């Protein structure tokens, strides 16, 4: 989780929960193979209107997902009390391959009470990219830009 203040990264915290964890939660809870769980994540995810809402319910009720949300809340609270000059955080971008999980943006918007959107990971280089790179290249893009 990176907090950007006035256009520059101001605070970063690693929350070691990601898209692969979502796949494992689905596989474990539904007692299915990881490959099928990956398909269910990509097709239904957190969207309660898809697939009878089964994956959405099990993910929203899972303790690992609750830990992810708590970690985000703690990071935001820390930033607001120690680094933000009392300015509230109002917006969040999701990036990376996991940001495309159906319903994830809506779920995090509801849980964090923030305006959450899909981040534009190619914003500073998009004029030079045809076609644009998918969100799962965000780390590679960031590392390349830092080295440039």
pLDDT mean over 98-127 = 81
What are 7's two structure tokens? 């256009």
Which tens digits make up the pLDDT trace of 75-95? 888 888 887 777 778 888 888
What values do phi and psi take at 8, rounded to 5? -125, 145
Across 2-6, 67-71, 96-100, least confident range: 2-6
Q: Could you give the angle at which helices 19-30 and 63-82 cross, rounded to 10 degrees?
A: 150
- Give the whole-angstrom CA distance, residue 54 versus residue 51: 6
Q: What is the CA radius of gyration of the chain?
A: 16
Q: What b/e string do you get for 104-117 counting C-beta neighbours within 10 Å, with b at 16 or more? A: bbebbeebeebebe
Residue 137 has pLDDT above 60, yes or no: no
C-alpha 103, offset from chain centre: 11
pTM: predicted TM-score of the whole model, two decimal places: 0.78
- Give the whole-angstrom CA distance, residue 28 versus residue 68: 18
116-124: list long-range contacts, CB under 8 Å, 24+ apart: 116/91, 116/92, 117/91, 117/92, 117/93, 118/93, 118/94, 119/93, 119/94, 119/95, 120/93, 121/95
């Amino acid at each position: 989780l990176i907090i950007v203040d006035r256009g520059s990264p101001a605070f970063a915290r690693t929350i070691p929960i990601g898209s692969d964890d979502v796949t494992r939660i689905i596989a474990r809870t539904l007692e299915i193979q990881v490959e099928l769980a990956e398909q269910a994540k990509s097709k239904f995810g957190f969207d309660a209107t898809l697939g009878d809402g089964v994956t959405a319910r099990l993910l929203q009720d899972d303790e690992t997902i609750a830990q992810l949300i708590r970690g985000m809340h703690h990071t935001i609270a820390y930033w607001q009390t120690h680094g933000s000059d009392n300015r509230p955080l109002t917006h969040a971008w999701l990036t990376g391959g996991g940001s495309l999980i159906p319903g994830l943006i809506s779920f995090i918007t509801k849980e964090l009470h923030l305006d959450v959107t899909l981040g534009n990971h190619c914003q500073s280089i998009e004029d030079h990219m045809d076609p644009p790179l998918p969100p799962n290249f965000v780390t590679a893009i960031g590392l390349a830009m830092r080295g440039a």
